[in-house]
Amino acid sequence: MTRAGRSLTGLPDETEESGVFSLAELETDDLDAMVGRSRDFFADRTAHDRPLRDRIAGVLFTKTSTRTRTAFTTAALRLGAQTIAYGPHDLQLETGESLEDTGRVFGRMLDILVARTAGPVAQLRTLSRHGGLPVVNAMGREEHPTQGICDLATMSLYFGAVDGVKVLYVGEGNNSAVALAHGLAHYTGTELTLLTPAGYGIPESELAVARDRAEGRKSSIRQVHTLDELPEKADVVYTTRWQTTGTSKPDAHWREAFRPLHIDRAFMNRWPEAVLMHDLPAHRGDEISGDVLEGARSLAWTQAEMKLTSAMAVLEALVPARQESR
């Protein structure tokens, strides 16, 4: 006897993984739909019929988080789900249980899993594949895709559309930058300039994938390492803290390479009409000055609020596939 593809006495059938692992893998229509729903929920957080009612969402965070963990927990509750939270030392993974077995258990008890771990995104794919449940990458070593959805939704809200937006990203080529590159590549006529210190840029493999998609959309992505290569026009100046969560720099003097990338009023005045975005947390005095972060041109706090509504959009989008399999 079986129940939804699961033997009552044996192991669950392994299935294709499902969820949100990388914006590079999403269909453009699916990504744009989540961006649109993020805006809908930003206008009205009750614009739904509680699609996660009677569902259980696991929220696994082995790394620190303020916005993403709060956003997905709150989003699940607002959409009708109940949540189970797991910290860095709560699972039997700590005692040597395999990811495969952990996924099998999750799949028999949970309806969706939101996870931030210290490992590569391949670990989340393993949990999804062996559990047969959708998994959301809530920031992995390689990419922070839900941050990217939030960022695109914030731009869409402010400019009315993502198409044609010119973005200057300033800072480390971290997982947020990777998501931004993959996300903007889905839209037409966008321009992304990544100003990163030499040796701290986006991996060429990620750039190649994003550029390939961008070219098909008449968009462009370039990575530069000096202030002499700044773009003439920018609609958004986007920065991030210099020390990415869970990482360390191999060079003890790394701050010297980052210091020219400090965003203050003089830096912003190169583009008088540009708005400021920051994925937070912010370290005033490092990557940004307090008066810019809290100034009239800053979208950082709108962007932070959009973390919640974009989390709602992601969870809502993943529910239909789960319902069909049961």
User: 133 and 113 in contact (C-beta within 8 Å)?
Assistant: yes
Structure tokens at 268: 């912003």
* Shared-domain flag, residues 129 and 21: yes
Closest CA to 172 of 236, 258, 231: 258
What pLDDT is stored for residue 118 in this prediction? 78
- pLDDT tens sequence across 198-214: 999 999 999 999 999 99
Cα torsion through 147, 297, 243, 153, rounded to 10: 0
Statement to judge: residues 266 and 316 lie in one domain: no
In the block, residue with structure tokens 């392994």? 14
pLDDT tens per residue across span 137-166: 999 999 999 999 999 999 999 999 999 999
Which H helix or E strand runs over 60? strand 56-61
Closest CA to 60 of 73, 79, 51: 73
Residue 65 and residue 36 share a domain: yes
The answer to whether the peptide bond before residue 120 is cis (omega within 30 degrees of 0) is no
Co-location of 89 and 162 in the same domain: no
Residues 96 and 189 in one domain: no
d(CA 282, CA 74) in angstroms, rounded, equals: 22
What percent of the chain is predicted at pLDDT more than 90? 88
Count of domains in the chain? 2
How far is Cα 32 from Cα 301, in angstroms, rounded to an integer? 22
178: containing domain:
145-305
pLDDT of residue 5: 46
Residue 54 φ then ψ, to 5°: 65, 20
**Full-model pTM:** 0.92
Structure-block tokens of residue 160: 């009315």
Q: Are residues 241 and 266 in the same domain?
A: yes
CA neighbor of 308 nearest in space, from 66, 142, 63, 19:
66
Contacts with 285 (C-beta within 8 Å, 6 or more apart), sequence order: none
**Do both 164 and 206 map to the same domain?**
yes
- Are 156 and 61 found together in one domain? no
CATH number for 159? 3.40.50.1370
Claim to verify: residue 79 and residue 191 sit in the same structural domain: no
Do 186 and 71 belong to one domain?
A: no
Over the stretch 246-267, which tens digit does the pLDDT of each residue have? 567 778 889 999 999 999 999 9
240 and 183 in a common domain:
yes
CA distances from 18 to 133, 279, 309 (A): 7, 26, 21
Residues 163 and 286 in one domain: yes
To the nearest 10 degrees (0 to 180), the angle between helices 145-159 and 175-184 is 50
